[in-house]
A and B are shown apart, each in its own frame.
Chain A
Amino acid sequence: MVPNKTMTYQTIIGLEVHVQLNTRTKLFCGCPNRFNPDEPNTQTCPVCLGLPGALPVMNRKAYRLGVRTALALNCTIAPFTKWDRKQYFYPDLPKAYQISQFDLPFSSDGWVDVVLPDEGDAEPTHRRVGIIRAHLEEDAGKNVHDESGRGGDSRVDLNRTGTPLVEIVTQPDLRSAAEARTFLQELRLLLLYLGVSDCNMQEGSLRCDANVNVRVHTDDGHEIATPIVEIKNLNSFSSVERAIEHEAERQFAEFQETGRKLGEVPKQTRGWNADRGETTPQREKEEAADYRYFPDPDLVPVTIGAEQVEAMRAELPEPPAARRERFQVDLTPYDAGVIVDQGRAFADYYEAVAHTCEDGKLAANWVTQDVLRELNDRDIEIGTFPIDAETLGTVLAKIAANELTTKSGREVFGVLLERAGVSPADVDDVVEELGLAVVSDTGALEGVIDAAIANPANAKAIAAVREGKQQAVGPMIGQIMKEVKGADAKVVRAMLIERIENG
């Protein structure tokens, strides 16, 4: 293949996402399902260890969380599903087979909609990513390799063995590294809203493999696909994006050099080296037939009726995408996104604040600025935020009704933050203690305003205002506000100008 400067390429990506379900116990035994790398091999039993005679028994909760996940991915739930053994030898798999699902997964044929950020002025792109299937399987243990480079022994911790996983396999519908990242972020948010997993990528609760190839457009109008490469174990959003980016470029360069096409070489497995910023080859992937799947005789099939499926579908929460859209009735897409992307508890908080103060925009300003800043400063979650939604909503209702200025509202907010267990009833007390109630009683203001106008020190400013320079009134507003705490600057200004001009 002669390198050709005018060739372009399109990246084609499908993802396989492994999600650890947040059950209390493992998939097939009562050992705790808990991330615990500091105490290796303390959460195992004969089932985990694959000891002779040990029998796995399916965790009902794991199956239900799996179905819940699949329903949220718009999958069809199989009325009949079974468990298969996938055979391979690896030290983190003591049975020498993984219990997984082969030909009858519990769900298939779903989709997830993602909105891809607009580039420049373009409208955001809506992409429907197909889900081929979601199936249940057990996680393997953890191998710890000798880092010295001298080929020392590896260590095996089997605490993770048997942790319930849902594997979600997408269609090759993603078209760029950035799209893959956006999809994964949206999927993670959806799973967090569902409450099926903590999705902690550092701890490996959410892991991703990417199947990548490129379609090269030759300048004579042909489209040629390169061999598919599977990049294993991407455990952060940035590694997903960077690894795919690099791999697509690498494949394009390799194609220009070798001309090798899809089907001419077996599927290759590569790993991602974040330090070097490149993918590197791993052992050749065994052909699917080599896994010698067969039905696991230790586990019986699972059935589910249409009524049960519909009951579980009815329990699903509103997905983040729908929530974003609903919030956009009051808010900009940006603000709606900030709130929804903070997670379900935060979005619930926003909604409760907005409901109490009956002003969505005002509520959004406060939760995305004041509340979010405090959460970050204190490094806490919304669940432990000192001011509950109804109390904040009550403060904002006063601002919306012009009973409290925004500035005074911040002072009240600051005081409430330092008190424990505040309730809406405390708002009035704090406003009173601080003497911040807006003096909307113009009678109370009139005297102070008249005194200010009568003050010879203000004569110059008053003359300026009479000549049409309304901005000259500023310092006088300051004087009055100092005397009457809680006075609304806008009201003071209007009254001042009115009295000066008509005086």
Chain B
Amino acid sequence: MITPDAEPVIDVGKVAKLARLRLTPDEEALYAEQLARILGFVGQLSEIDVAGLEPMAHAVEVTDVFREDEPGDSLSHEDALVNAPKQDGRCFVVPAILDGK
């Protein structure tokens, strides 16, 4: 739990790794400070007394939005692949996934 007066400690290296971002030490320092400010800002929410209130699972109070199981249009495979950095006309082509196997 982050309180507004406590300085949140963020492991920017871990967050960057999970997001697959390669950061320079300067960037790490910059983002550490910016993320701390963001968390501090959001942390103000914990000042509100929510005792006795039902937690919300969604920002809008709407439930049960469904579609029927009816087929719609799909893209052609040419259109599906059009943004791929690399493709072979049938599949997306990516660097080897299993390393050393």
A interface with B by C-beta (< 8 Å): 23-25, 29-32, 39-46, 49, 57-63, 80, 82, 87, 89-91, 104, 143-146, 149, 151-158, 290, 292, 295, 297, 299-303
Contact = CB atoms under 8 A, between A and B. Distances in A.
B57 A295 contact: yes
Contact of B94 (A43, A57, A156): A156
B97 A91 contact: yes
| Secondary structure dominating the interface of B | loop
Nearest to B72: A30
Given A49-B80, A89-B20, A292-B18, A58 B66 contact: yes
30 contacts: A25-B70, A30-B67, A32-B74, A39-B77, A40-B77, A41-B80, A41-B90, A41-B92, A42-B80, A44-B74, A49-B75, A57-B66, A60-B69, A80-B57, A82-B58, A87-B18, A89-B20, A91-B97, A104-B57, A143-B97, A144-B91, A145-B97, A146-B96, A153-B94, A153-B95, A154-B93, A155-B90, A158-B92, A295-B57, A301-B57
A40 B91 contact: yes
B65 A59 contact: no
A158 B100 CA distance: 25
A21 B101 CA distance: 33
B18 A152 contact: no
A39 B81 CA distance: 13
A498 B74 CA distance: 81
Contacts of A143: 94, 97
Contact of A30 (B71, B91, B100): B71
Contacts of B88: 155
B29 to A, nearest CB: 23
Contacts of A146: 96
A300 B62 contact: yes
B71 A24 contact: yes
B63 interface: yes
Interface string B39-63: 0000000000000000001111011
A154 B96 contact: yes
A58 B65 contact: yes
Contact of B72 (A45, A60, A63, A157): A45
A30 B70 CA distance: 6
A155 B91 contact: yes
Contacts of B74: 30-32, 42-45
